Amino acid sequence: MMPAMVEDDPKQTLIQANALHQYTVTVADLPLSCPMPGMSLWNSHPRVYLAIEAVGWAKCSYCGAEYTLIRSPHEVTQHGQ
């Protein structure tokens, strides 16, 4: 899984949108959108916001990307467990 990127960090380079199918995100990435702010948008679908807070997992209906929310540094969660 690739960690999410926060848009406000100028040291980060953009990652290709929809290149992976599983992403790990943190509360710093909320509200969650696909593609995320740290992803290049030139070849992607329209930005949609995903409700991940309640269950800790969301799937984009456009590209099928799956997002898992890690609420704390010590939390390890797998979808379906």
Q: Is 59 among the domain residues?
A: yes
Give the Cβ contact number of residue 36 at 10 Å.
Answer: 21
Q: What is residue 33's predicted lDDT score, i.e. its pLDDT?
A: 94
Q: What is residue 44's predicted lDDT score, i.e. its pLDDT?
A: 83
CA-nearest of 77, 75, 46, 39 to 63 is 46
Q: Is 57 among the domain residues?
A: yes
Residue range of the domain that includes 63: 2-6+16-70
Give CA–CA dist 1/62, Å, rounded.
19
- Please say if the pLDDT value at position 4 is more than 90: no
Q: Is 60 among the domain residues?
A: yes
Q: What is residue 37's predicted lDDT score, i.e. its pLDDT?
A: 86
CA-nearest of 60, 3, 8 to 35 is 60
Q: Is 75 among the domain residues?
A: no
Q: Is 76 among the domain residues?
A: no
DSSP state of 64: -
Number of domains in the chain: 1
Q: Is 61 among the domain residues?
A: yes
Q: Is 78 among the domain residues?
A: no
DSSP state of 35: S
Verdict on whether the full-model pTM lies above 0.85: no
Q: Is 38 among the domain residues?
A: yes
Question: pLDDT tens digit string along 5-63?
Answer: 544 555 567 767 666 789 999 999 999 999 988 887 777 889 999 999 999 999 999 99
